[in-house]
Structure 1
Amino acid sequence: MPYLIPISSFDDPRIEPYHAIRERDLVGRAGRFIVEGRTVMDVALSPRNRFRIGSLLMAESRAGALDPLLAQAPDDLPVYVAPQSVLDGITGFHIHRGLLGIGNRGEDPDADTLLASLPEHATILVLGGITNHDNVGGIFRNAAAFGADAVLLDTASCDPLYRKAIRVSVGGALMVPFARGGAIDHLLDRVLAHGFTPLALTPAGSTPLIDSRPPARTALLLGAEGPGLPARIMERSLTVRIPMSGDFDSLNVATAAGIALHHVTAIHAR
């Protein structure tokens, strides 16, 4: 188990990466990201995490209770411990969870590299214009829960390694491989080139989801709530819908992703 390193001043240079968390959420961290809270840290310190954790920072009042968690960590991982007042000064606001970590994202793969690495039977998600961090986090949580093989995100979608997205994903964003970049049209081109059949989720879909029989390589396409996927994308895909009660046709995109993933992965498991 790693040694605990006491921090007594918020301007200690060793914990500079933790400074002004909220501001850096907006401008980026030069290849780093923040993980927070016990539940996410359970994933971050486990073999399920695809990224390297560089250090931890915790409130000294929580140090003893977190011994079982720290037992998972490498012995040489820096674990900084500070009084709550110093911790709040470092981050710029009250960290009531009392536990933070710095991750290193490394080099982001491109879509072709990621798709080429997937098995013959694979289920992926393709996100177009999903800018809400809660929705992206929820989608990654569902992707991890139902065993999706990868997620592709267009340039307009938000970063899955944004602090809130990781938290909402309950660590799923650290587990599920993803590639981000390019327009949704480009991602669809790559999906087709790698032998995936695109199923576009839309309330106006031609086939009820429950009646669809997804092929071995299935790509579920999801657009932003409201505008949805562009018509040109749906014209190149099989469109499916999740029937709803009465004339109600509004379903949260993360919820829709979970329903669709359950259906596809259950069929693939047969």
Structure 2
Amino acid sequence: MCWPLWQKPRPDEWQLYMLDVGQGLAMVIARNGKAILYDTGLAWPEGDSGQQLIIPWLHWHNLEPEGVILSHEHLDHRGGLDSILHIWPMLWIRSPLNWEHHQPCVRGEAWQWQGLRFSAHWPLQGSNDKGNNHSCVVKVDDGTNSILLTGDIEAPAEQKMLSRYWQQVQATLLQVPHHGSNTSSSLPLIQRVNGKVALASASRYNAWRLPSNKVKHRYQQKGYQWLDTPHQGQVTVNFSAQGWRISSLREQILPRWYHQWFGVPVDNG
């Protein structure tokens, strides 16, 4: 379904945006003109996603960020943080990293924001896991619909999480872990979440050929609607009392002339 770019959200609605930041992750939860970021995209020698995309995007949408959740320490997830903090230095930060000024984002942490409940389901307090498997898995819930944000969690951590807390991970939408890599999205996770939509962030024609077609088909075989930034661009989910609806940026923009002439490849890579 199409949600026009110029339509202003109503006060009873809230939004999830998966930004098109290339081979990284940056998601925005927004309500009443305020926002929380889940990851901040990547960095490169000449700049970063925060400076080049996220900050202008927030200004354009008249959104004031109030906090940042960092899933883990990898640069494609925290690359834009310093630029964002330069503009909004008072933002709170939650992460599993135990860094200075970071509030914890570990199993058992829960908080309210703009009428939404945030609850962390992974990692465990005191966990020795590093990197992807130390990703903070957060559920955002409005009492009817919910999102499970997974960072780069991989199959071993998925298994540990599900073995203890499988009843708590059900969600309407799932952010596909690790950009759709076959290291993640184990069948038990897909089944236990029991969601409607899978959202994956990656760059088009990336060297790792992500998202994996095997992973995509795994979700589709379990009834999920699949959307990814390489093909849909920015994905927006609008939640209201009437339910939820999804739109993508590319479906709202007239296809480029070379797409009209030569077509668009069906598969990434």
**TM-score w.r.t. structure 2 length?**
0.28
Higher share of residues assigned helix? 1
**TM-score w.r.t. structure 1 length?**
0.27
Larger Rg computed on CA atoms: 1
Higher share of residues assigned strand? 2
- The structure showing larger relative contact order (alpha-carbon pairs under 8 Å, at least 6 residues apart) is 1
